[in-house]
A and B are shown apart, each in its own frame.
Chain A
Amino acid sequence: MSEYLIGLIFLVGLWGVLSKPNIIKKIVGLSIMNGAIVMFFVHHGARFGSTAPIREGAETGAAAAAVMVDPLPQALMLTAIVVGICIIALGLALAVLLYRRYGTLDIRSIEAEAWSTRD
């Protein structure tokens, strides 16, 4: 059930990217999509237990695995979050430059103006 809800969040992000003409909102949409993916992984990683996957020495393999989260998705998602941040930051930087160049955040008017002055 919760996986379908996360899927819904992914689609919300996709809808934002698709339908919003404002470039900041498009970037927010991308961020939502990224967040949904992270939730997919983290949710799946917590299927066994929910404590942090750090061995303090007391518990051994199987007993520890029963209460700990799956550490691999967390490691992966940390990387994915880093990558996501880079993309979002770069997108926002481009948005700032575009705004200063064209004076608007509406991608339709930006594109119309960019291609009309291309020659």
Chain B
Amino acid sequence: MTDPVILLLVLPLGGAAAALAAKLPGIDRRPALVRALTLVTPVVLLGGAVALGFGYAAASAGRVATYTLGGWPVPVGIGLKLDGLAWLSSVLVFGLSFLISLYAVAHREYGPEFYFFFMLLVAGMEGVVLTTDVFNMFVSFEIIAISAYVLIAYHREGTALVASFKYLVLSSVGIFFFLFGVFVIYRELGTLAFADITSLYAAIEDPVRLRTLRLALVALVVGIGVRTAFIPFHTWLPEAHAYAPHPISALLSGVLIKVSFFAMVRIITVFSPGMFAHLLLWIGAVTAIVAVVWALSQRDAKKLLAYHSISQMGYVLAALGAAGGATAAITVSGGPAGAAAAADAGGTLALSAAVYHALNHALFKSLLFLSVGTAVHLTGERNLYRMPRLGRRAPLLAVLFGVGALSIAGVPGFNGYASKVAISTALAGSPAYMLLNLTAIGTAASFIKLSRVFRPGARDSEGERAPAQARERILPPGATVGMSLIALLCVTVGLAPRTALGLLQGLLAPGSGLATMSPAFAPAKLLDTAILLALGFVVYRLTQTEIGGRIAHRIEEHAPGLRTVLLFFLVGVVGFALAATVA
């Protein structure tokens, strides 16, 4: 008996078909019908999320749901697999896309094409999550990429076009490296299925073949690395995420980079769990601190958020690096590797912390992008120093932004704090953790800076800009519901941090001895956090001084061109290749 895993792919594809049907003649001239067909998008996404909810019991019990397309068995046919990690990612994909699509639908400024590509993007992400072989991962990644390019350039503004083109060139080069890696795997092992790769790779004795395959893994990791956007592959992200339509910014920053991150975890685990652990730890820490410096220097509100996405993914990556070989727990249940992984309680905690922070970041970053996006939409201004203050005019928006900002800054009681405590427990004693602490200061500072938009100002309500949109409702009901639900999730997780972590561990490493993090609200932790936040305020004041402003301006001007971007990419390729041959 098989499981209805295919539903997770057919649902979004069917939603895409509904959006496409809105373009058929006879339908396209009837606005009510077109509107109804676009409403299929959130309904379908909600359906997927609910269906996943029914699968929770099986997933948490460690049961792996499988499916094969057309009934052909796996080495010949295309297989799908829904294990704990895939379940978590699918919930993220469907749940958050649903809430974001509520926002998009409520704003009524997107046509059926938008929803077609939106659903295609969701289908591609589900493909990456569920696939059981390397080649279908490539195909799904390309489905994601194609829809993402179109969606970023949806409004056809000049900057968005350039951003989309940059993303296209860089990620295509990356994906061709990925495909080259696929070729090397096929040439050496004669198979592309994850399970076969794992067993064949483990049996290799010959050092030359081993090195070849490690280089193939480098090619795969580099290809996915471009999508996950850690240094040195991050350069496309700020522009692509900043100039995309607001719901798409939220979707890309909130969901897409997590999906590619989970794909990277899976790929590394398929070969040898713990590979690149040390490299990833340091890349993560450096990514976090460098990106936060850039974020702090931005005046463009959405670009600031985009740089923070890179920075927060640095946290996640560092925690993954600390997890080392414990990632085996995800795919190997039972067997010596699984037993070793289960025994490694610290590693399991680090792995859970990485996934925990990735999920939390998905929540608060999409909330932030939606609220800042609404502010940009209302004021028609992206520069946060020129935006009129919205605090009095849009109190609800300010509250929603506040929840996101407090979460990302790591204030106790919000979900960002919860996962940061988990990461600090996992990384305790590592020198890389110092860098993450510095990052926390920068994060607090830049959100104090961004919050000026939402503070109640003296002359904010009427006046400054021509109120062309003043009578428009600030947040349509659908958008309010979507954003409030995200905010509610942020607070809920923040108030019950250990319960949430326990649930995660149960899914990621079922049956392993649960490692628990240190109490989240211990006085020492709270004191540390208070110090970091206070330092953040000091840093914020410093950036507002003249010298600070000048330095910030310098950094902001330092945006790499496409050529530099590609050179960065090649440096990254060489770096990973060196790490693989030395290891």
Direct contact between A and B judged by beta carbons closer than 8 A: yes
Chain A contact residues, CB within 8 Å of chain B: 10, 13-14, 17-19, 21, 23, 26, 30, 33-34, 37, 40-41, 44, 72-73, 76, 79-80, 83, 86-87, 90-91, 94-95, 97-98, 101-102, 107-108, 110-111, 113-115, 117-119
Chain B contact residues, CB within 8 Å of chain A: 135, 138-139, 142, 145-146, 149-150, 153, 156, 158-159, 161-162, 164-165, 168-169, 172-173, 176, 179-180, 182-183, 186-187, 300, 382-383, 559, 561-563, 566-567, 570
A-B contacts, 26 of them at CB < 8 A, read A13-B176, A17-B169, A17-B173, A18-B566, A18-B567, A19-B563, A30-B173, A37-B179, A40-B180, A41-B186, A76-B135, A79-B139, A80-B138, A87-B142, A90-B146, A91-B165, A91-B168, A97-B153, A97-B156, A98-B158, A98-B161, A98-B165, A107-B563, A115-B159, A117-B158, A117-B159
Q: Which residue of B lies closest to A87 (CB)?
A: B172
Set of chain B residues within 8 Å of A14, measured between Cβ atoms: 173
Given contacts A17-B173, A111-B162, contact A83 B183 (CB under 8 A): no
A95 to chain B, nearest CB (A): 8
Set of chain A residues within 8 Å of B146, measured between Cβ atoms: 86-87, 90
Set of chain A residues within 8 Å of B570, measured between Cβ atoms: 18
Q: Assuming A37-B179, A86-B142, A87-B145, what are 17 further A-B pairs, CB within 8 angstroms?
A: A21-B563, A23-B165, A33-B173, A37-B180, A83-B139, A87-B146, A97-B153, A98-B158, A98-B161, A101-B158, A101-B161, A107-B562, A108-B561, A110-B162, A111-B162, A114-B161, A119-B300
Interface of B: prevailing SS: helix
Set of chain A residues within 8 Å of B138, measured between Cβ atoms: 80, 83
Taking a contact as CB atoms under 8 Å apart, the answer to whether B183 and A18 are in contact is no
Taking a contact as CB atoms under 8 Å apart, the answer to whether B150 and A17 are in contact is no
B409 to chain A, nearest CB (A): 26
Taking a contact as CB atoms under 8 Å apart, the answer to whether B158 and A17 are in contact is no
Q: Which residue of B lies closest to A118 (CB)?
A: B159
Specify which of B150, B156, B159, B383 lies most central, judged by the most chain A CB atoms within 10 Å of its CB: B159
Taking a contact as CB atoms under 8 Å apart, the answer to whether B169 and A37 are in contact is no
Give the complex CA separation of A17 and B173 in angstroms.
8
Selected contact of A40 from candidates B159, B168, B183, B562, CB within 8 Å: B183
Taking a contact as CB atoms under 8 Å apart, the answer to whether B161 and A18 are in contact is no
Taking a contact as CB atoms under 8 Å apart, the answer to whether B135 and A90 are in contact is no
A89 to chain B, nearest CB (A): 9
